């Protein structure tokens, strides 16, 4: 399991965003600024506050969010199951290829929410699922400096109809969530356990877990491909793919609560919007 001695969050304090370092699970020491990347390498210089008294914000205002696909064997199986055309062969080829699948998920946080934010289902999709993922946060040199929890919400029926529809299946309002914290791993090669729980007004609909140990590709490999001929601004985020997919008869619906937990980082909770 990945562990971390440093966990940084962003809070709304007196109407303004502030960066803070977690002190245990329910308190945080404030910084005088709102710069989570700088906070990873410096000590807090402000008051200690109770988390429950403040709104949690996305842990980083990411200028760009990218996703990687078919990085686990289970994600390959899911993509093959959803594909309705010759795209089945494409997913198998990507899984075995040197070059990974990479796609732009968001820019400027226009489609991404933080802890407690509302995720959404496309109005023209009948089969949408959460995809729980470990996400990498990149620093000024385009190197990983922290990790966070992510939910790569995806319209499986749209993607399955034609692989050229991936941008529409993956990139739309409310299709991404990140949080609750940025964590600095003690060991970048450690395996992280990822747990997913879906509930409808307290009634559990699905629960499962996977581990980054089941990834076919290593994290540095994904980053190296992402930044190849592709300059990224600091604070950009890379979602590293999922190995945990709900059953084919499940689809997200308004009111469903999705919880993604990665020990050492925290639990990201979001509810599907009614519209």
- The pLDDT tens digits along the chain (275 residues) read 566 679 999 999 999 999 999 998 899 999 999 999 999 999 999 999 999 999 999 999 999 999 999 899 755 555 555 555 555 567 778 888 999 999 999 999 999 999 999 999 999 999 999 999 999 999 999 999 999 999 999 999 999 898 899 999 999 999 999 999 999 999 999 999 999 999 999 999 999 999 999 999 999 999 999 999 999 999 999 999 999 989 999 999 999 999 999 999 999 999 999 98
Characterize the bridge pairing of strands 48-50 and 154-155: unpaired
Q: How many CB atoms lie within 10 A of CB 183?
A: 25
Specify burial of residue 156 (Cβ count, 10 A radius: 0-12, 13-18, 19+). buried
Contact by Cβ (8 Å): 239, 153: no
Is the entire prediction scored with pTM above 0.85? Answer: yes
Radius of gyration of the chain (CA): 18
Q: Where are the domains of the chain?
A: 4-55, 64-272
Q: Mention the CATH class of domain 64-272.
A: alpha beta
Q: How far is CA 273 from CA 166, 173, 255, in A?
A: 22, 11, 6
For residue 56, the SS3 value is strand
Strand partners, 12: 17, 55
| 137: phi then psi, degrees, rounded to nearest 5 | -105, 130
The residue written with tokens 């709104």 in the block is 55
Strand partners, 185: 4
For residue 242, the SS3 value is coil
Tokens encoding 197: 């729980």
């Amino acid at each position: 399991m990945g562990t971390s001695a440093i966990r940084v969050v962003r809070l709304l304090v007196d109407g303004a965003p502030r960066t803070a370092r977690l002190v245990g699970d329910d308190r945080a020491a404030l910084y005088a600024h709102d710069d989570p990347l700088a906070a990873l390498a410096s000590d807090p210089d402000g008051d200690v506050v109770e988390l429950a008294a403040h709104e949690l914000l996305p842990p980083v205002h990411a200028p760009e969010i990218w996703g990687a696909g078919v990085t686990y064997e289970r994600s390959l199986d899911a993509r093959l199951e959803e594909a309705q055309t010759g795209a089945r062969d494409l997913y198998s080829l990507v899984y075995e290829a040197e070059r990974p699948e990479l796609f732009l998920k968001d820019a400027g946080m226009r489609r991404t929410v933080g802890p407690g934010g509302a995720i959404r289902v496309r109005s023209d999709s009948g089969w949408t699922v959460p995809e729980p993922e470990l996400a990498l946060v990149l620093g000024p040199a385009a190197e990983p400096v922290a990790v966070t929890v992510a939910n790569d919400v995806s319209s499986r029926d749209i993607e399955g109809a034609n692989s050229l529809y991936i941008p529409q299946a993956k990139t739309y309002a409310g299709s991404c969530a990140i949080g609750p914290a940025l964590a600095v791993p003690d060991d970048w090669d450690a395996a992280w356990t990822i747990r997913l729980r879906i509930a409808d007004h307290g009634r559990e609909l699905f629960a499962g877990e996977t581990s980054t140990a089941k990834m076919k590709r290593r994290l540095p490999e994904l980053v190296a491909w992402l930044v190849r001929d592709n300059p990224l601004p600091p604070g950009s985020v890379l979602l590293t793919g999922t190995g945990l997919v709900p059953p084919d008869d499940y689809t997200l619906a308004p009111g469903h609560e999705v919880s993604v937990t990665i020990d050492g980082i925290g639990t990201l909770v979001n509810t599907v919007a009614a519209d």
